[in-house]
Amino acid sequence: MNKYSGDFATNFHTTILHKQSMPAIASPITASSVTLPLATFEGSFIDVYEKSGLMRSVDWIEFLQAVVPTLVFEQLVHEYTSSAEQVNTIMSPIIESTLALQWNIDQEDLANINTHLHTWHLHMKNNVSTNMYNVNFHYLRHIHDTCLKRGPLRSYSTRSAERAIGFFKRHIKQRVLPGSNAANIIKRHLITCAYHRMYVEEDVVEEVEEDEDEDGNDQYTIPNANQELELWDWHHATLDLYSSNDSRVLTSTLDNRIRVGKRLFKTDTVFRCKEYPGMARKLDTLVKLRLPIRGRSNSTAFYFGELMLFFTYQCQGDERQLCLERAQNMECPMAIEQAQTLVKVTSFIVTGCENILDYTGLIQSSFHPGRYYVVYPDMMSGHTTLANICDV
């Protein structure tokens, strides 16, 4: 970050921010702690100005993918304008890194990785002196070939091994014979794990058959449907309780009964809704969705909005897992391509829970009070096409 903050008084950098830009970037990160669902992101959002020494590799990855395209980018636009070459080029390594960190990479992704790496390399080669073009820039050029021959970077990441190394490193205290001390610690840890597996019995929980016709059940899955969707802490209800004085509900001949859940489990994520918020007082209802749109068959578009209610409804023998969503139009500010800015144009939509993709968070702008940028895991500039709510 020193290269961005101007700590080096040289002319070898193509992108330099003034020192006052650093606290301007760090302050919104701290202020946005309640609007960032940390369970969604692998790393943590830390004050990069005061506590950069505490940031781990995963935290720097989150900074690269979420903070640089938003807060850092708007500072660069303010300094150099949006049309400057270095401002546009700095997005290349971010997009390349995000693509390479996906679990699934196709030929189009490989081609984009190669293109963005080449763009970044030419910019650095033509604008940075030879002594500043260090080995790290060279290593980046190997990512394309590595993914081509060995697959996505995550499939052979050493993160778990490094975590184990860190665990043992913290326990090695001896200075005279550190090797023997490390061997004893590893042996003791293995013996402890083996003892717990062999002799420590787990508490046996008696299985109790639940009557799914009664309220108070823990989870509900629609029979012969998507088993990755589970309605948690559900109870019976009727549509008129959520009709907002809509007379069509009272006069409808359709079934008025529904199952309402406090939470939804989808694949490996637990979602909450506005009707039953969590106790952490954090933003945990804003999500990214893929919804079908009018016009062309099988066409979809991305939307952002708040989860209001989870429920199941049965019509003509077909039961569906649904959610009430307050979808919001998003608008890209002219200077910032990646960040999506919330606009107060909303519409209530009922859609299938399978259309929920992931949680999203909000980062406060460093220039405009009241403006928040929508951030989410694996976001990339130009790769999310938003549509109008009226097209749903």
Structure confidence at residue 145 (pLDDT):
93
Gap between the Cα atoms of 25 and 392, Å rounded: 36
Structure confidence at residue 376 (pLDDT):
87
Structure confidence at residue 192 (pLDDT):
82
Angle, vertex CA 269, rays to CA 267 and CA 270, nearest 5: 120
- From 313, 211, 307, select the one nearest 262 (Cα to Cα): 307
CB distance 310 to 261 below 8 Å: yes
3-state secondary structure of 38: coil
Q: For helices 107-127 and 91-100, what crossing angle results, to 10°?
A: 150
Beta strands in 151-238 (DSSP E): 219-220, 229-238
Structure confidence at residue 333 (pLDDT):
34
- From 282, 298, 278, select the one nearest 290 (Cα to Cα): 298
Mean pLDDT per 10-residue run, the chain (392 residues)? 47 67 87 81 83 84 88 87 83 88 90 91 84 82 91 82 77 78 84 75 47 59 83 87 60 74 88 85 86 77 88 86 80 36 63 90 85 84 65 70
3-state secondary structure of 180: helix
3-state secondary structure of 10: coil
Structure confidence at residue 201 (pLDDT):
53
What pTM does this model have? 0.73
Structure confidence at residue 248 (pLDDT):
55
